[in-house]
Structure 1
Amino acid sequence: MAVSLMLHFPLLLSLFFQSSSSSHNSRFSLSVEKPEDVILSQNGVFSAGFYLVGENAYVFSIWFAQTLAVVWTANRDRSINGKRSSLSIHRTGNLVLSDAGQYEVWSTATTSSLPTQLILNNNGNLVLYEHQLRGSKILWESFDFPTDTLLPGQQLTRYTKLVSARSETNYSSGFYKLVFDDENVLTLLYDGPDVSSKYWPSPWLKSWEADRNIYDSSRIAVLDSLGGFSSTDKYNFTTSDYGVLIQRRLKLDPDGNIRVYSLQNNLWEVTWQAISDACIVHGLCGADSTCVYDPREGRKCSCLPGYRVKNHSDWSYGCEPTFKLSCNKKETTFFKLQDVELYGYDFFYKENISYSDCENECIEDCECRAFQYSFNHDGLFQCYAKRVLLNGRRSPDFRGTTYLRLPKTKRNNVSFFADEEFAQDNGHICSVKLDRAYAKRHVSSFLKFFLWFSVAIGLVEVLFISMTWFYLIRTKQKSDGNQQGYNFLSPFGFRKYTYSELKQATKGFTEEIGRGAGGIVYKGVLPDQRTAAIKNLHDDNIGAKRDEAEFLAEVSIIGKLNHMNLIEMWGYCAEGKHRLLVYEYLEKGSLADNLKSNTLDWTKRYNIALGTARVLAYLHEECLEWILHCDIKPQNILLGSNYQPKVADFGLSKLLNRSDQHTQNFSVVRGTRGYMAPEWVFNLPITSKVDVYSFGIVVLEMITGRSPTMMGGQSDKAEEAHNERLVMWVREKRKKMTSEEEGSSSSSWVEQIIEAAIGSEFDVEKKKMETLANVALKCVEEDKDARPSMSQVVEMLQSHEDDAS
């Protein structure tokens, strides 16, 4: 009995510290295990709390108390467990949603040293207030982060958007978005797994032809309490019950249509909708299909002749061919589809062309799958050739015909909308029930002994790292014989995928979006329809041991980190020799790609540098462990939709104890030529200053547009032959200009090094670039002790921001 208590003592000790820390850091908390933990608005109209969306799957939402209609969700794409999950305000002023008492799923990312309070207002706006001596200040509010619904008085702006749910039963993000486009026009977009397209207002109309005003850049749209909607692009409407003061909501539904719902006799009635013909919405029936709309029967999706449905429960997957096309012209024929239009994605268009010439154009191209032949209002015939068959719609209003390419052997066996193999009378998105497995901690006898041993020698931090490490090894040993355990929650809070799932998600690893020493990154679409970046680590026999170590390091490190400027990891695969990591996909790509295409103005470049500096300061100084990235370069800095930087690729990172920050415990040189600090070359002790140096090189590259890897020779005898060329060039420019123009503005030297492609914008951001250049030169000092820490870099950059404001 005494031995048993001794073995359990370290585990009990760690649980005690976790519990006491939680109670110390939070002053407000809601528990998912207590149904009575609900926030009510003062008028009783709205409630906020934990909402059940599947088997043991919950989200934190706001809903109408009377009808349970959800209007906002915090974690729609990452549900939490029904055990030990909570929402709490920490003493730092941050509102945090935690999953199973272990992982931070969502937060407001706010800070305050003053008392804070969370209030659900009568209009349905959840607000986090900071109480000051002269009143209250809003730290965060849900109205600034809508999901798929706008409430009366809630504004849709240039910084916000509505995103539909995946289906009526799956609340995760779907394919449809309501946003202001680049022309200041309120627009509906289909943003599918493979393609994106605008469908409202009519894409073939110019903005002014659709009665939209493009000259007001304020971009604000709002629904008022009486049922009137107004937008700065002059799109206005009133609901059918306008003038009556009742509960309303404007919602972007899973079918891609915007509707206003009014509560009448305890039922939600549609009192306005944007689109009357449901088939106008893109992507509803998927590829290789057609949509037919009947006002009485609704929408009907059908596969094209010779095609069959992919997923009988979800038409968004579309159809697939039951044949293979040949390039042999003699084996090809065309099937006439009267009144059928396949909108968009033409690989060529020709006007005033005969039918036979149009047909020959398609036959000559082996990838041509159909062509559209119609005539316009001027009486000219038009030919549209298609390699992809999307947005199919059958309508008597379409003045044209589509000719579908088929093998001659198949032509006589198909008839349009006749065979049950090709026609499917189901236009509904699938009903997906979410499932969340509760991740229970399992401690084997060996781990208990290891815990006891670790506490005995005082290495509490090593204890947690070792538990993670051995759990992954045990999982790897069992993966070959038992694949049934891959869909539950891992010890890190991520999903474990099978190799076949990720192979299917990436279409056989076909769309490569990046590669490096650690592996190749592919774009993929997960089973829940989220677009992901999937990194396949090298699995050759020579590097198998090294790859496994990189895989375990990357998973274990990222599992401990949480920062707005770090790439978010969603899952992984450890099956046989396969090692894969699943990350969020950032549509803007890497900093390297954007620097090549000159898409970044000086403000964006400054903000990217500041965001990168903040996350490196977090890694170096705010984590329990001392974390070095060791491979900071533009390729590892990814950009989100608003150009917010996110640091990625921890395959080369190093996790050490804070008491051992001067170490040579690196078996191999790490990093990328051109960005490596001199310490690597001269075998000096490695500290966090290697990341500071790499950061400085990246900043110089952002300012000058010159890559350090392109300025040096091809010799391998010294790394500084590459990056030192760039550093010395910048230093010489500063020295020369300050000596020649003594007494002039100290920023004049920066004008000599900025990238010429966007130099015309420099005058506005001169002070920013001067600050950034000086900070970068401090970071690339040869002597590591002369370089600032990353927290000092953040202070220098932020002080400039404060002075400017």
Structure 2
Amino acid sequence: MALSLILHVLLLLSLSFQFSSSSSSSLNSGFSLCVEKLEDSILSPDGVFSAGFYAVGENAYAFAVWFTRNPTVVWMANRDQPINGKRSSLSLLKTGNLVLSDAGQFNAWSTDTTSSSPTYLILNNNGNLVLSELYSNESNVLWQSFDFPTDTLLPGQQLTRYTKLVSDRSSTNHSSGFYKLVFDDDNILSLLYDGPDVSSIYWPAQWLLSWEAGRTTYNSSRIAVIDSIGTFNSTDNFGFITSDYGVVMQRRLKMDPDGNIRVYSRQHQNDPWYVSWQAISSPCIVHGLCGANSTCTHDPREGRKCSCLPGYRVKNHSDWSYGCEPRFQLSCDRNESTFFKLPDVELYGYDYIYKKNISFSDCENECSQDCECRAFQYSFNNDGLFQCYTKKVLLNGRRSPNFRGTTYLRLPKTRRNNGSFFADEESAQENGRVCSVKLERAYTKRHVSSFVKFFLWFSIALGVFEALFISITSCSLMRTKQKSDVNQQGYNFLSPFGFRKYTYSELKQATKGFTEEIGRGAGGIVYKGVLPDQRIAAIKKLNNDNIGAKRDEAEFLAEVSIIGKLNHMNLIEMWGYCAEGKHRLLVYEFMENGSLAENLKSNTLGWTKRYNIALGTARVLAYLHEECLEWILHCDIKPQNILLVSNYQPKVADFGLSKLLNRNEQNAQSISMIRGTRGYMAPEWVFNLPITSKVDVYSYGIVVLEMLTGRSATTMGSRSDEGEEAQNGRLVTWVREKRKRTTSLEEGSSLTSSCWVEKIIDPAIGSQFEVKKMKMETLASVALNCVEDDKDARPTMSQVVEMLQCHENDAS
């Protein structure tokens, strides 16, 4: 018996080593870190640095090294190939290779190392991640992150002829960007713009000879390094000291997404970072910031601004670096075009023709006689001579009062006179973005994973072993056969997914006998409770006639396990469950701001919060419909099921147990019972039509209309509009009628197309209409599209997200 107990403990310890979450000082060969356990990490001995999985987008992760406090990433392994947030892992194989696996299907990154000796991965106090082998009691380095920098150089880390710093694509996209710090072919440390179409060096200034810039080309060793007291030295004779030089501090030199290199410093781990040195003081010198056919302007108070040249429009509303495109076609007939004067505008580089000591009219003729010429630049040089540059491509545009010249832009003569090219100039402030792009990573389903095979075989072996163990232990240690057959198996199956099985008595005690009710619906009643670990929870007691005793416990546990695998920032987190006898309960995180319904009644939500709630809810529904292994319909989207966290971000609740199907069964004829709440239900439920994800789209549209109008879908007719009672009982019909009436009045009048939205808007946010009318109109139009009677005419939730995404930053 003692031997059996020891073996049992050893098996449990083996399992815990495979699946437990903890921070450690190293990763040894044969072990892995799991992306689903973000607390799995490697710490440097002094705790300053951590290495592990870092979220870079929606369900997208990279293996990275970062400063532990106020996390700041300094290195990434797979910045251009993020891995899924499910079933991905970093494994140190016994062959000596460090492998990053994406969803268990293919390798996203590896060190490509081999060793016949034991290996281990450690993180040094300087932030260097080192893979070593133990050989004759000495360590031999196989690979280290310092040899493969991404966008950051740490003190003591060398930049060499074989390495480079590459910026992030943007502040929200950590994949490789367009800006690089490299040693060029002349041994000069340089900043390079390497864009989609062209590349150019912009620092040091290209019009300076190397010695004029204080550089030397004769040292070919190509090494640059920064130290912890603020000194930087390079073999091309370039060097600097930071503004806080002389004090040992945490420092990092970073190639930023805006094309500038900066040194960031801080004294203590909890302090914010500050810039102690930067290479470029005027940001518009950086090439490619605003893309082609645009200009960059910098104001110390307002920051950088990108603007399209007259006659051009933004090409890609996700990123200004793609520049602008023309809204016209030029004719080869010189009489059909004219030139528009742009004072103080310089288009640097890519000159087609250069002539000096030339008159203005001759310079103009050089351009007008060339069908491909798009502009010419006429300037005055230091020798007292006028210079002419003709341009076939318009790149690196910037406005500067220090530029001693003028650019003349070629435009069609017929369109120039009415001024239409200048009325709609598009521009953007700060980081040059029109709207923010966030990286997303869809979860890819695989047929059979090695992990599942291993776990199934392990479970079988463990079950056989436990059966033998139980047969020889005392009856006092045994559970009843009924509980061990069902409950214990369910617990073993669910425990690797991170939530707990509670007893009914535990939850009854947590809720003080189910006394504090905080909500109820068709599925059951929700109570507020305090768990044994002092966390405040929302505990839902499911109705027996819904998912209680009548439903097989194994089916219930299978569905709960699927819910446990879901992971989305706008989805309420499930902490545990109870399946005991006839009792079925679910334990969720508690939302302190209550539901959307409560907040709409109290008029606490401004326009920004409502827009963000609409967008967040759309994102999570798109995730449930299109990114999960199972096809999950919510079937009861309503304001009561949209809960709000402290910053009023939405979290959708009461999901999952509504309907879980395999993706091959999306023609859901198997849904026989009507689900949902009156006023939010799609017509398919009433007319017994096939149920698809479009039922959630319809309910979502109703919720958005409620947020816009302040009216309830279930109590329409109780409020009047300018003395006129809303006679029909449906919110959708009322809104459509308002749009129809206003649209008919607009014909032949000066009314704008957004007037109909003004007629329906909630008085609580009506004062913001003039400022936000374009966004409100977009949201209202999206909502009406979602509530079309024909399900095929409704958009998918991912299409809804797409339509709302570009106005996300403008909703403030």
**TM-score, scaled to structure 1:** 0.51
Residue number among 138, 141, 146 corresponding to 2:149 in the alignment: 146
Distance in 1, matches of 2:626 and 2:409, equals 44
Equivalent residues in 2 for 1:382-421, closer than 5 Å: 382-414=387-419, 419-421=423-425
- Residues 102 and 312 of structure 1: CA distance in aligned 2, closer, same or farther (over 3 Å): closer
Using the TM superposition, give the Cα deviation of residue 73 of structure 1 relative to its aligned residue in structure 2, in angstroms.
0.2
Distance in 2, matches of 1:214 and 1:421, equals 44
Aligned to 2:83, the other structure's residue is in SS state coil
Residue number among 68, 71, 75 corresponding to 1:72 in the alignment: 75
Q: Name the aligned partner's letter for residue 349 of structure 1.
A: Y
Distance in 2, matches of 1:201 and 1:156, equals 17
Tell me if the contact between 1:293 and 1:299 (Cα under 8 Å) persists in the aligned partners: yes
Aligned to 2:307, the other structure's residue is in SS state strand
Tell me if the contact between 1:306 and 1:422 (Cα under 8 Å) persists in the aligned partners: no
Is 1:250 the counterpart of 2:253? The answer is: yes
Equivalent residues in 2 for 1:93-132, closer than 5 Å: 93-132=96-135
Distance in 2, matches of 1:82 and 1:121, equals 27
Distance in 2, matches of 1:347 and 1:298, equals 32
Distance in 2, matches of 1:175 and 1:285, equals 12
Residue number among 12, 35, 58 corresponding to 2:38 in the alignment: 35
Tell me if the contact between 1:170 and 1:431 (Cα under 8 Å) persists in the aligned partners: no
Structure number with greater Rg is: 2
Tell me if the contact between 1:306 and 1:414 (Cα under 8 Å) persists in the aligned partners: no
Stretches of 4+ aligned residues off by more than 6 angstroms:
487-491
Is 1:320 the counterpart of 2:325? The answer is: yes
Residue 471 of structure 1 is matched in structure 2 by: none
Using the TM superposition, give the Cα deviation of residue 194 of structure 1 relative to its aligned residue in structure 2, in angstroms.
0.6
Residue number among 435, 439, 442 corresponding to 1:437 in the alignment: 442
Using the TM superposition, give the Cα deviation of residue 26 of structure 1 relative to its aligned residue in structure 2, in angstroms.
5.4
Using the TM superposition, give the Cα deviation of residue 319 of structure 1 relative to its aligned residue in structure 2, in angstroms.
1.0
Aligned to 1:272, the other structure's residue is in SS state strand
Distance in 2, matches of 1:290 and 1:355, equals 23
Tell me if the contact between 2:293 and 2:309 (Cα under 8 Å) persists in the aligned partners: yes
Tell me if the contact between 2:258 and 2:289 (Cα under 8 Å) persists in the aligned partners: yes
Percent sequence identity over aligned pairs:
74
Q: Name the aligned partner's letter for residue 428 of structure 1.
A: G
Q: Name the aligned partner's letter for residue 333 of structure 1.
A: T
Residue 362 of structure 1 is matched in structure 2 by: 367
Tell me if the contact between 2:303 and 2:429 (Cα under 8 Å) persists in the aligned partners: no
- Residues 383 and 435 of structure 1: CA distance in aligned 2, closer, same or farther (over 3 Å): same
Is 1:227 the counterpart of 2:227? The answer is: no
Equivalent residues in 2 for 1:558-597, closer than 5 Å: none
Residue 164 of structure 1 is matched in structure 2 by: 167
Aligned-residue CA RMSD (Å) = 2.3
Residue 546 of structure 1 is matched in structure 2 by: none
How many aligned positions are there?
A: 426
Tell me if the contact between 1:309 and 1:318 (Cα under 8 Å) persists in the aligned partners: yes
Equivalent residues in 2 for 1:485-496, closer than 5 Å: none
Tell me if the contact between 2:305 and 2:427 (Cα under 8 Å) persists in the aligned partners: no
Tell me if the contact between 1:123 and 1:152 (Cα under 8 Å) persists in the aligned partners: yes
Q: Name the aligned partner's letter for residue 423 of structure 2.
A: D
Q: Name the aligned partner's letter for residue 169 of structure 1.
A: T
Distance in 1, matches of 2:426 and 2:181, equals 33
Aligned to 2:211, the other structure's residue is in SS state helix
Using the TM superposition, give the Cα deviation of residue 490 of structure 1 relative to its aligned residue in structure 2, in angstroms.
14
Aligned to 1:67, the other structure's residue is in SS state coil
Distance in 2, matches of 1:42 and 1:140, equals 19
Residue 339 of structure 2 is matched in structure 1 by: 334
Residue 138 of structure 2 is matched in structure 1 by: 135
Aligned to 1:210, the other structure's residue is in SS state coil
Using the TM superposition, give the Cα deviation of residue 216 of structure 1 relative to its aligned residue in structure 2, in angstroms.
0.5
Residue 281 of structure 2 is matched in structure 1 by: 276
Distance in 2, matches of 1:285 and 1:176, equals 13
Q: Name the aligned partner's letter for residue 403 of structure 2.
A: F
Distance in 2, matches of 1:393 and 1:231, equals 30
Tell me if the contact between 2:302 and 2:430 (Cα under 8 Å) persists in the aligned partners: no
Is 1:302 the counterpart of 2:307? The answer is: yes
Distance in 2, matches of 1:438 and 1:427, equals 30
Tell me if the contact between 1:163 and 1:176 (Cα under 8 Å) persists in the aligned partners: yes
Distance in 2, matches of 1:299 and 1:369, equals 25
Residue 287 of structure 1 is matched in structure 2 by: 292
Using the TM superposition, give the Cα deviation of residue 413 of structure 1 relative to its aligned residue in structure 2, in angstroms.
3.2
Tell me if the contact between 2:56 and 2:439 (Cα under 8 Å) persists in the aligned partners: yes
- Residues 326 and 268 of structure 1: CA distance in aligned 2, closer, same or farther (over 3 Å): same
Tell me if the contact between 1:335 and 1:403 (Cα under 8 Å) persists in the aligned partners: yes
Gaps of 5+ in 2: 1-17, 19-27, 449-621, 630-812
CA distances 1:301-350 after superposition (whole Å, capped 9, x unpaired): 11111111223442111111111100011111101111110001111111
**TM-score, scaled to structure 2:** 0.51
Tell me if the contact between 1:292 and 1:394 (Cα under 8 Å) persists in the aligned partners: yes
Distance in 2, matches of 1:70 and 1:110, equals 24
Using the TM superposition, give the Cα deviation of residue 262 of structure 1 relative to its aligned residue in structure 2, in angstroms.
0.7
Aligned to 2:415, the other structure's residue is in SS state helix
- Residues 45 and 423 of structure 1: CA distance in aligned 2, closer, same or farther (over 3 Å): closer
CA distances 1:693-741 after superposition (whole Å, capped 9, x unpaired): xxxxxxxxxxxxxxxxxxxxxxxxxxxxxxxxxxxxxxxxxxxxxxxxx
CA distances 1:594-625 after superposition (whole Å, capped 9, x unpaired): xxxxxxxxxxxxxxxxxxxxxxxxxxxxxxxx
Q: Name the aligned partner's letter for residue 364 of structure 1.
A: Q
Q: Name the aligned partner's letter for residue 290 of structure 2.
A: C
Tell me if the contact between 1:143 and 1:155 (Cα under 8 Å) persists in the aligned partners: yes
Q: Name the aligned partner's letter for residue 348 of structure 1.
A: I
Tell me if the contact between 2:346 and 2:397 (Cα under 8 Å) persists in the aligned partners: yes
Residue 175 of structure 1 is matched in structure 2 by: 178
Tell me if the contact between 2:345 and 2:400 (Cα under 8 Å) persists in the aligned partners: yes
Q: Name the aligned partner's letter for residue 375 of structure 2.
A: A
Equivalent residues in 2 for 1:671-690, closer than 5 Å: none
Residue 190 of structure 1 is matched in structure 2 by: 193
Using the TM superposition, give the Cα deviation of residue 278 of structure 1 relative to its aligned residue in structure 2, in angstroms.
0.5
- Residues 262 and 415 of structure 1: CA distance in aligned 2, closer, same or farther (over 3 Å): farther
CA distances 1:351-381 after superposition (whole Å, capped 9, x unpaired): 2111111111111110000001112111121
Distance in 2, matches of 1:214 and 1:130, equals 39
Q: Name the aligned partner's letter for residue 383 of structure 2.
A: D
Residue 208 of structure 1 is matched in structure 2 by: 211
Gaps of 5+ in 1: 1-18, 20-24, 444-483, 492-805
Using the TM superposition, give the Cα deviation of residue 296 of structure 1 relative to its aligned residue in structure 2, in angstroms.
1.7
Using the TM superposition, give the Cα deviation of residue 410 of structure 1 relative to its aligned residue in structure 2, in angstroms.
2.0
Distance in 2, matches of 1:490 and 1:297, equals 43
Distance in 1, matches of 2:249 and 2:428, equals 40
Q: Name the aligned partner's letter for residue 47 of structure 1.
A: S
Aligned to 1:208, the other structure's residue is in SS state coil
Q: Name the aligned partner's letter for residue 343 of structure 1.
A: Y
Residue 58 of structure 2 is matched in structure 1 by: 55
Distance in 2, matches of 1:204 and 1:488, equals 53
Tell me if the contact between 2:51 and 2:123 (Cα under 8 Å) persists in the aligned partners: yes
Using the TM superposition, give the Cα deviation of residue 238 of structure 1 relative to its aligned residue in structure 2, in angstroms.
0.8
Distance in 1, matches of 2:123 and 2:428, equals 46
Equivalent residues in 2 for 1:266-665, closer than 5 Å: 266-414=271-419, 419-425=423-429, 427-429=431-433, 431-441=436-446
Aligned to 2:423, the other structure's residue is in SS state coil
Using the TM superposition, give the Cα deviation of residue 414 of structure 1 relative to its aligned residue in structure 2, in angstroms.
3.5
Distance in 2, matches of 1:177 and 1:85, equals 30
Distance in 2, matches of 1:230 and 1:391, equals 30
CA distances 1:178-229 after superposition (whole Å, capped 9, x unpaired): 0000010000000010110110111111111111111110100001010111
Using the TM superposition, give the Cα deviation of residue 134 of structure 1 relative to its aligned residue in structure 2, in angstroms.
4.7
Q: Name the aligned partner's letter for residue 393 of structure 2.
A: V
Tell me if the contact between 1:93 and 1:110 (Cα under 8 Å) persists in the aligned partners: yes
Aligned to 1:396, the other structure's residue is in SS state coil
Tell me if the contact between 1:227 and 1:241 (Cα under 8 Å) persists in the aligned partners: yes
Aligned to 1:361, the other structure's residue is in SS state helix
Q: Name the aligned partner's letter for residue 367 of structure 1.
A: E
Q: Name the aligned partner's letter for residue 51 of structure 1.
A: Y
Tell me if the contact between 2:29 and 2:118 (Cα under 8 Å) persists in the aligned partners: no
Using the TM superposition, give the Cα deviation of residue 385 of structure 1 relative to its aligned residue in structure 2, in angstroms.
0.6
